Amino acid sequence: MDLMTVRERLDRLGLVLPQPAAMPVTTTFSWVRILGTRVVVSGHGPQNPDGSPAGPYGRVPDQVSLEEAQQSARSAALAVIAAVERAVGDLDRIDAWVTVNGFVQAQPGYARTTAVLNSFSEIVLAVFGPEVGDHARTAIGVAALPLDLPVVVAAELHTS
C-alpha cells in the first residue's frame, strides 16, 4: 500500500502544477464544477507554470510532432490536476478519476490521437496511482481547438 500523498508523489516525480489559467480571452464558465461528490473539469490545454497557454501551437502531425503533442498532453494533465486541487483543496480527497475526454487538433485522417492522449493518462496514473487514477477515456481528432492548442482535455472525477 502506497502511503505517499498525492503532493508527495508530484514532488517525487519533479512535477510542478501551474498557476490558475491566464487566458487571453474572457471565459464565461467554471474551470471546475463540484456537484456533490462529482468533480467536473472543463477542457484544459497545456499551460506554462504562470498559467498562460503553452505552445507549440497547431495541428498534429504536420505542424506539431507526435512528441510535442504528447508533451502538450502531459502539460494539460498538470493543468487539470492544478485546477482540481484549487477546487477541492486537497488532492487526496479524489477517490476516482472517472472519465477523460481528450481532443487533439489533428490533420484529417490522423489516427494516432490515442498515442497523444496516452501521455495525459500516464501522468494521472503516476500521480494518483492505479486504484484512483484508472479512468475511461476518449481521444478524438478535431479540426480546430481554442487558441490553436494541439490538445484540450476535460475530465470527471469523484471525491470523498
* Residue 13 exposed, middle or buried by CB count within 10 Å (0-12, 13-18, 19+): exposed
**Range name among 18-22, 89-93, 135-139 with the lowest pLDDT average:** 18-22
Confidence at 26, pLDDT banded by 50, 70, 90: confident
Confidence at 16, pLDDT banded by 50, 70, 90: very high
Local structure of 79: helix, strand or coil = helix
The span from the CA of 132 to the CA of 129, in Å, is 6
19-159 belongs to CATH 1.25.40.10: no
pTM over 0.75: yes
Q: State the residue for C-alpha cell 479512468.
A: 135
